[in-house]
Structure 1
């Protein structure tokens, strides 16, 4: 790496760190070009050259803070899988950390809860992938009674809604039990009442088998695709109806 490229990267990192500090301390209004330049020890034109405008800088800061949080979550899910931590306990712990992060970083949360920003955010995509991994562990254990993608959507929607509700409530009036109560409501919708040894009904069995299908080495690739198609049909059929109509 040349000195010029390194200097540019270091300058960009210093600006992002300075802006992140101002964002945490005082919100988006404090992230002015002059304020960030003073704290980072650079000239204002440098910010425009690297980020275009204030919105570009805010997006870079939000991505930076979110990426750090997601990196910690990725390490957590890997450690939980390696230590064979109960997948439900792991999901609950991750949920609480997500709520805490949103409340501790309201400006970042609001920036990244904008659908247009989320669609272009590598950190947000990685965060969803980590949630998918946690939900997949539940499915493989035979504890899901809905398709994995549906469970991920429900958990994500509930998390965003919970954080938004708490942030819109004056701090002294916030219900500290709301997060856990919402998680319980979602779990009641997506989980079986059974253990991993005894999945609850055909849908839970189909969800579990689909999660494990990549490991079915006795099947050819075509056979696995056909099996997944059948299992998806089972999991997406409303209770009390037949897959044939």
Structure 2
């Protein structure tokens, strides 16, 4: 994509996001965005195809902003405490940008995955590897990721739907602590962690390994299957 097209694309995305934030999704149309951006509708169609393509691109860009916010918070020595901070950052982003959040994590029909779902899920899996490696994850990380995503998204959407004067952020804190209590163990003193936690920690280490391990792929798959069984 040449510089002119890239500049036009960014201008269109900025205008669409501004309309979305200030006027709501119903105000976003190819005609309104093209007019506000000072371009012909044909140029918008060339770059994004249609309104769905434009909104999908806005959602992807919004997710990049979301990630940029999360990267400003450096990880601490306690991955479980970082789970709390990550939860609060997620909910906070949704409450500051409700229309964009609905676009990112909502869906307009059953069976359709939200635009940010896959990327958010991969990010969460990498994050949970730290919890597993510390020996504090009670359940396999894939299940933990699904539970975290469902709970955080559900709470955020519920709070967005609640009028400001009636919004109780304690609901978010209670759900956060309930989830963390169900997914993690307390720090183990000097004694060995439980067998399930150790199995999850080894599984996480295999995932994060930079160097090839001394096992053939079928052996690695079998080992990981055993570790998942021990973690149940």
TM-score range (shorter-chain normalised) is: 0.7 to 0.9
Question: Is residue 2:12 matched to residue 1:12?
Answer: no
Local SS of the residue matching 1:116 = coil
Structure 2: where are the runs of 5+ without partners? none
The residue number in structure 1 matching 2:160 is 167
Local SS of the residue matching 2:112 = helix
Shift of 1:76: 4.8
Greater Cα offset, 210-219 or 165-174: 210-219
* Distance in structure 2 (CA, Å) of the matches to 1:116 and 1:106: 20
Question: Is residue 2:183 matched to residue 1:187?
Answer: no
The residue number in structure 1 matching 2:60 is 63
Shift of 1:170: 1.2
Preserved CA contact (<8 Å) 2:80 2:184:
no
Report the CA distance shift for 1:167/1:199 in structure 2 as closer, same or farther (over 3 A): farther
Shift of 1:166: 0.8
Structure 1: where are the runs of 5+ without partners? 237-245
* Distance in structure 1 (CA, Å) of the matches to 2:212 and 2:49: 52
Preserved CA contact (<8 Å) 2:20 2:27:
yes
Preserved CA contact (<8 Å) 1:142 1:197:
no
Q: For the pair shown, which has the larger CA radius of gyration, 1 or 2?
A: 1
The residue number in structure 2 matching 1:102 is 94
Report the CA distance shift for 1:64/1:218 in structure 2 as closer, same or farther (over 3 A): closer
The residue number in structure 1 matching 2:127 is 134
* Distance in structure 2 (CA, Å) of the matches to 1:191 and 1:9: 45
* Distance in structure 2 (CA, Å) of the matches to 1:68 and 1:198: 42
With structure 1 as the length reference, what TM-score do the two structures score?
A: 0.81
Preserved CA contact (<8 Å) 1:18 1:40:
yes
The residue number in structure 2 matching 1:235 is 231
The residue number in structure 2 matching 1:177 is 170
* Distance in structure 1 (CA, Å) of the matches to 2:131 and 2:166: 34
Q: What's the Cα RMSD here?
A: 2.5
* Distance in structure 2 (CA, Å) of the matches to 1:207 and 1:184: 21
The counterpart of 1:148, out of the listed 135, 138, 141, is 141
The residue number in structure 2 matching 1:90 is 82
Preserved CA contact (<8 Å) 2:159 2:167:
yes
Preserved CA contact (<8 Å) 1:88 1:138:
yes
The residue number in structure 2 matching 1:116 is 112
Shift of 1:52: 2.8
